[in-house]
Chains A and B, each alone.
Chain A
Amino acid sequence: MDQRAILDHQFVVAAYIITWVVQLSYLAWLGVKWRSERRNARTRPKP
C-alpha cells in the first residue's frame, strides 16, 4: 500500500468511527433518559 492509500483508508475509518460514536452515544443517552422517566413514573403516587 502506498502512503496515499494508507491515508485514505485512515480517513474513511475515522469517518465511520465518528459516525458510530455519535449515534451510539445518543442511543445510550436516550436509554438513560428513558429509564429515568420510567423510574419517575413508577415512584410517583397514583392519582
Chain B
Amino acid sequence: MKKLAIGLYAAIVVALMIWGYYQAIYVAPDDAMQGYLFRIIYYHVPSAAVAFIFFAVSLVGSIGYLSFRGNRPELAQAYDAWAVAGAEVGVVFCTVVLLTGPLWGRRAWGIWWTWDARLTTTLVLWLIYVSYLLLRRFAAGPQMQTLAAVLGIFGALDVPIVYMSNRWWRTQHPAPVFGGGEGSGMAPSMKAVLGWNMLSWFAWGVFILILRFNVERQHQKIANQEALEALESNV
C-alpha cells in the first residue's frame, strides 16, 4: 500500500513537471521587455519560493528539537530529522537560485554578479545553511544536534531579510513582481504558468524532502542501536 502511494505520488510529480515545462516553454508569452529570456523566471522564482518553505521546515524542526530534547527524546529525534531534511533540500533549491540568477543577470544586465542586496542576502542564506550541513557532517558528540538547531534558527532569520531586501533597498535586482505595490504584477497568462511551475517544484521538493527525512530516520535508528550496544559492552 505504501509503495503504491509513493509510486502514485511520483507519477503525479512527473506529470506536473512535464506540464510545468510545457507551459513555460510553449504556452507562456514572451515578455515585452526581455522577450524569450524571461522564461528563466519559471524555474528561478519557484526554486526560491520552495527554498524558503523548506528553510521554514528546518526552523520548525530545530525549534521542535530544542523543545523536546529533554523530555521526549524520540519526538525530538523526529524533529531533528525534519530540520536536517529541510535544510538540505532548501540548500539544493537555493543553489539552483544562485546558479540560474547569474545566467539571467548576464543576459538582462550584462553582468554575472553584483553585490546587490537581494543577491548578497541570498548568498549569505546559502552560506549559513551550508555551514549548518558541514557542522552536522563533521562535528561529533552529544552537543552537535543542539548547536545545529541553534544555527538553523539563526539561519531562518535571514529568510525574511532576503524576501524584503528588494523592497527595503532598491539596487540592481528588479522590484518584487507580487506585492510590490503600484506597477507590480504579471499578465494573467504568465501568472498561470508561474503558478503551475510553483506547484510542480513544490511537489518535487516534498518528494525529495520525505525521502531525505526517511534516510535520516534510518541513520538515527542505526546510530541509536550502535550507542546502545556500546553502552551494553561497557557494562
**Residues of chain A having any CB pair with chain B under 8 Å:** 4-5, 7-9, 11-12, 14-16, 18-19, 22-23, 26-27, 30, 33-34, 37-38, 40-41, 44, 47
Contact = CB atoms under 8 A, between A and B. Distances in A.
Contacts of B212: 30
A12 B40 contact: yes
Given A15-B40, A26-B92, A8 B99 contact: no
Nearest to B89: A26
Interface residues of B, number: 33
Contact of B35 (A8, A16, A40): A8
Which DSSP category, helix, strand, loop or mixed, fits chain A's interface?
Answer: helix
Nearest to B43: A19
If over half of B's interface residues share one DSSP class (helix, strand or loop), that class is named, otherwise mixed; here it is helix
B214 interface: yes
A26 B218 contact: no
22 contacts: A4-B35, A5-B36, A7-B107, A11-B103, A11-B107, A12-B40, A16-B43, A18-B99, A18-B100, A18-B103, A19-B47, A19-B96, A19-B99, A22-B96, A27-B208, A33-B215, A34-B215, A38-B218, A40-B222, A44-B225, A47-B225, A47-B229
Interface of B: 21, 34-37, 39-40, 43-44, 47, 89, 92, 95-96, 99-100, 103-104, 106-107, 204, 208, 211-212, 214-215, 218-219, 221-222, 225, 228-229
**Which among A14, A15, A16 has the highest number of chain B CB atoms within 10 Å?**
A15
Contacts, number: 75
In the complex, the 5 A-B pairs of residues with the closest C-beta atoms, listed nearest first: A8-B37, A37-B218, A15-B100, A8-B36, A15-B40
Contacts of A16: 21, 43
Nearest to B40: A15
A19 B222 CA distance: 33
A41 to B, nearest CB: 6
A43 to B, nearest CB: 10
A44 B227 CA distance: 13
